[in-house]
Homo-oligomer: A and B are copies of this chain.
Amino acid sequence: MPDAAAIKETVERYVRAVVGDVDGIVALYAEGATAEDPVGTPPHVGLDAIRAFYESSPSALSAELEEVRVAGDTAAFLFRAVVQVGDEKREVSPMDVMTFDENARIVSMRAIWSRDDVRPA
């Protein structure tokens, strides 16, 4: 079981890396990890698919971790990101749920948000 401090550190690094650092994001994931963003869409399985997903996603201009909770091998957190979409800046504020391996690498990520959570920034 990873400790809570190590999990929080991974979450903080994740939110910092969301600002265009795809290598930094992928380094936080474990081999064979899954990412489902948003929940209800087909999960991206394995590091290559996860890398391709982040490379194809709109780049965040800024991102801020607002709340994080850890229990056992699981974290849930709320963050706000400003994203450039064409000529517009939009703010999105998902809640992500992640599970972690014993090295506090991400084994699964599920992002819970919808269009209702996207606003002009």
- Footprint of B on A, CB under 8 Å? 1, 4, 38-41, 67, 69-78, 93-95, 97, 110-114, 116-117
Listed A/B pairs (6) with beta-carbon separation below 8 Å: A38-B72, A67-B67, A74-B110, A75-B112, A78-B95, A97-B97
Other CB < 8 Å A-B pairs besides A71-B111, A75-B112, 7 of them?
A: A1-B40, A39-B71, A40-B74, A69-B113, A74-B110, A97-B97, A97-B112
Chain B minimum-CB-distance residue to A94: B69
Chain B minimum-CB-distance residue to A117: B69
Q: A38-B71, A95-B69 are in contact. Are A76 and B4 (CB under 8 A)?
A: no
* Residue from the list B39, B40, B73, B78 in contact with A67, Cβ < 8 A: B78
Measured between C-beta atoms, what is the minimum distance from A74 to chain B in Å?
A: 5
Question: Once the chains are docked, how many angstroms separate the CA of A71 from the CA of B43?
Answer: 13
